[in-house]
Structure 1
Amino acid sequence: MNSDTGRYLMIVGGAVVVIGLVIYFFHDKLHWIGHLPGDIRIEKENFRFYFPITTMILVSVIVTVVLGIIRRFL
């Protein structure tokens, strides 16, 4: 391992901490996550199926944009 690996691990750890703090303090404001149009939800008496496809696409786009911005500055 070299110093770049340590730096990347620190960046990822910092990002996890920031995401955790946002979820902890703003969980009541983020109730729309997972309930977007296009998310598949089937609920019956003894069965629940949930596939948040629209939410996953949105998160993927946001992560791609953020990583692109980070790469541009590093």
Structure 2
Amino acid sequence: MIRWMIVIFLALLLISWVSPVLRKLGLGRLPGDFHFRAFGREWFLPFASTVLLSLLASLIAHLL
């Protein structure tokens, strides 16, 4: 169980590091990514970016 906690921690660390780089590349600003304010908070739902990254990961996995 401790291994999974370490893996999740490292994945979150990697995501927080890669997130600004992906924003510079244009991910997070695609037509299917939604930004809105509700209940005094800003919400972000990256539907199109998630699909694009999933397709990219699937293509890489298929090629390997």
Q: Tell me the TM-score normalised to structure 2 length.
A: 0.57
Q: Which amino acid aligns with 2:41?
A: F
Where do 5+ consecutive residues of structure 2 fail to align? 1-13
Across the aligned residues of Structure 1 and Structure 2, the Cα RMSD in angstroms comes to 3.1
SS at structure 1 position matched to 2:30: coil
The reply on whether 1:36 has 2:44 as its aligned counterpart is no
Q: CA, structure 1 residues 67+53, in 2 after alignment: closer, same or farther (shift >3 Å)?
A: same
Matched, 1:61 2:55: yes
Task: Show structure 1 runs of 5+ residues with no match.
Answer: 1-18
Shift in CA distance, 37/31, structure 1 to aligned 2, threshold 3 Å? same
- Structure-2 separation of matches of 1:29 and 1:49: 16
Instruction: Indicate the SS of the match to 2:43.
Output: strand
Percent identity of the aligned residues?
17
Deviating runs (4+, > 2 A) in structure 1? 27-31, 43-46
Deviates further, 55-64 or 34-43: 34-43
1:51 to 42, 45, 57: 45
Query: Which structure has more strand as a fraction of its residues?
Result: 2
